[in-house]
Structure 1
Amino acid sequence: MRTRVRHVQGAALLASGLLAGAFGYGAANVVPTFAAVPLDVRLTFHTAMMKVNEPVMQTAMALAILSSFGLAVVSRGLPRRLAIGAGALTLTSLLVTVFGNVPLHAHIRQWAAGSVAEGYAEILQRWETFHTIRTLTALAAFVLIVAIAVYTRPATR
């Protein structure tokens, strides 16, 4: 049984780390780059990036959620509670994306294809705020999974 816990733990560590890393890279590098280029370049790049990112990030979020909750199923005690917390945080990242960032993508696509509406700066700022929230929740989930791996012993079920 212990081997199964370690495998699930490894999957959760990998999935949550990849998700936090991807969101972190976006927050640390892509968002500041958006601010440094002309608006038409940002909109074109943002629209093209969304086409590639959507399936990749949705898959990464799903794997992180499933592996975190899977770790909760095969664990007991503190590791179970931490894994539930990590799963809930990752689920929060998904919900922020679906109900925060994705609806704003429709505006960005329209602007890239035509003219930019008044108040665009506020909408772009909201997208960045949602991105920050989902980045922080994904990072917190990763920290919880790391804590399980580093500080707890897997219990056999």
Structure 2
Amino acid sequence: MSILGLITLVLHGTLAGMYYSFSMSVIPGLKAIDADAADVAMRSMNRKILTPWLFVPFFGAPILALISGFFAEGSSALWFFAAAAVSLVGSLIVTVIVNVPLNNSLDSTRIGFAEFHPRWNTFNIVRAVSSVASLVLVGVGLTG
């Protein structure tokens, strides 16, 4: 088991946990309060989350899975490559195509939280499931 593989595992786990916690607690919590307060709170979270603590796992997970695949031996390489692909499509691309534009629409007040959350959370669940799948793929790659 390599250090690179373990770091890859941790980054995928970090993303899976973040997406899961948003869908299971943050969004339901915001839905339970006044719509104006939810707008303000979600806009604030969308701004404050943009730090290296997000960007390292967000970009690092698929990149390190790909790199781990090149260094892995035998069938383990395929598991890492699969993890990179699932992470790239299910987390990174979904975020860029769906979630970030919705965040921007909320931030610019073109839409409110009531319009924002159903689509955003649906695709956040896609990101969570993809990140858990990637996490499992990396784990299998580490055991091979």
- Tell me the TM-score normalized by structure 2: 0.88
Unaligned runs of 5+ in 1: 153-157
Structure 2: runs of 5+ lacking an equivalent:
none
* Partner of residue 32, structure 2: 36
From 21, 40, 50, the counterpart of 1:25? 21
Query: What is the CA RMSD across the aligned residues, in angstroms?
Result: 1.8
Shift of 1:125: 1.1
Could you say which residue in structure 2 is the equivalent of 1:59?
Answer: 56
Could you say which structure has the larger radius of gyration?
Answer: 1
Identify if the C-alpha distance between structure 1 residues 16 and 99 changes in structure 2 by more than 3 Å, giving closer, same or farther: same
Partner amino acid, structure 2, of 1:128? N
Structure 2 matches for 1:76-87, cutoff 5 A?
76-87=73-84
Alignment of 1:102-113 (within 5 A): 102-111=100-109
Q: Do structure 1's residue 69 and structure 2's residue 62 form an aligned pair?
A: no
Deviation, structure 1 residue 48: 0.6
Tell me how far 1:96 sits from its aligned partner: 0.4
How far apart are 1:84 and its partner, in Å?
0.6
The one-letter code of the counterpart of 1:52 is: K
Match of 1:7 in 2: 3
TM-score (norm 1): 0.82
1:100 aligns with 2:98: yes
Q: 1:65 and 1:48 mapped to 2: Cα distance?
A: 27
User: Contact 2:43–2:107 (CA<8 Å) still a contact in 1?
Assistant: yes
Amino acid across the alignment from 1:110 = S
Q: Please identify runs of 4+ aligned residues in structure 1 that moved more than 3 A.
A: 120-123
Q: Does 1:134 align with 2:127?
A: yes
Deviation per residue, 1:74-106 (Å, 9 max, x gap)? 012221111011111111111100110011112
Pairwise CA distance, 1:57: 2.5
The alignment of Structure 1 onto Structure 2 pairs a total of residues equal to 142
SS at match of 1:54: coil
Deviates more, 1:50-59 or 1:96-105: 50-59
Matched, 1:124 2:120: no
Match of 1:49 in 2: 45
